[in-house]
């Protein structure tokens, strides 16, 4: 049965979004809804790596997609390595293990 609200669960793997998100965090994400804005945390795929689904922060619209970055400056598995990404969903909230809204951070 289709999800009428466009909500899905996503598991964070790896350290690229520390300190905002940590390995093992469970997120609720939404397809559709309001437009993505710079500073939003999103789920995306890189055009050069369509098999890789990532959770990153949207930085700026570019070439019909988004330039995305991780919050952890020591990890560079983001647009610096793979280029423009296509956003698949926007993170709504973290529901496990520390429920709450991931903080918005201007970029």
Instruction: Show the 3-state SS of the chain.
Output: CCCCCCEEEEECCCCCCCCCCCCCCEEEEECCCCCCCCCCEEEEEECCEEEEEEEEEEEEEECCEEEEECCCCCCCCCHHHHCCEEEEEEEEEEEECCCECCCCCCC
Q: Alpha-carbon distance 5 to 104, whole Å?
A: 22
Domain total of the chain? 1
The answer to whether residue 82 is domain-embedded is yes
82: phi then psi, degrees, rounded to nearest 5: -115, -5
Report yes or no on 104 lying in a domain. no
Q: How confident is the model at residue 89 (pLDDT cuts 50, 70, 90)?
A: very high
- What is the structure's pLDDT at 29? 95
pTM above 0.85, yes or no: yes
47 in a structural domain: yes
Predicted confidence (pLDDT) at residue 93 exceeds the cutoff of 60: yes
Per-residue pLDDT band for 40 (boundaries 50, 70, 90) equals very high
Which residue range(s) make up the domain with 89? Answer: 7-96
- The closest alpha carbon to 42, from 52, 54, 34, 50, belongs to 54
Position 55 in a domain = yes
Q: How far is CA 35 from the centre of its chain?
A: 14
- Two structure tokens written together for 22: 């940590």
For 23-33, write each residue's pLDDT tens digit.
999 999 999 88
Looking at the domain assignment, is residue 49 inside a domain? yes
Q: Residue 91 belongs to a domain with what CATH number?
A: 2.10.109.10
pLDDT (mean) for 16-25: 94
Whether residue 36 lies inside any domain: the answer is yes
- Please report whether residue 17 resides in a domain: yes
């Amino acid at each position: 049965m289709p999800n009428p609200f466009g909500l899905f669960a996503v598991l964070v793997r790896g350290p690229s979004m520390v300190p905002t998100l940590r390995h093992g965090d469970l997120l609720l994400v939404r397809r559709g809804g309001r437009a993505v804005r710079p500073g939003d945390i999103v789920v995306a795929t890189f055009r050069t790596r369509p098999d890789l689904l990532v959770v990153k922060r949207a930085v700026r619209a570019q070439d019909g997609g988004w330039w995305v970055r991780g919050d952890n400056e020591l990890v560079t598995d983001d647009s610096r390595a793979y280029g423009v990404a296509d956003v698949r969903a926007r993170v709504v909230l973290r529901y496990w293990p520390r429920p709450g809204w991931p903080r918005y951070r201007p970029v």
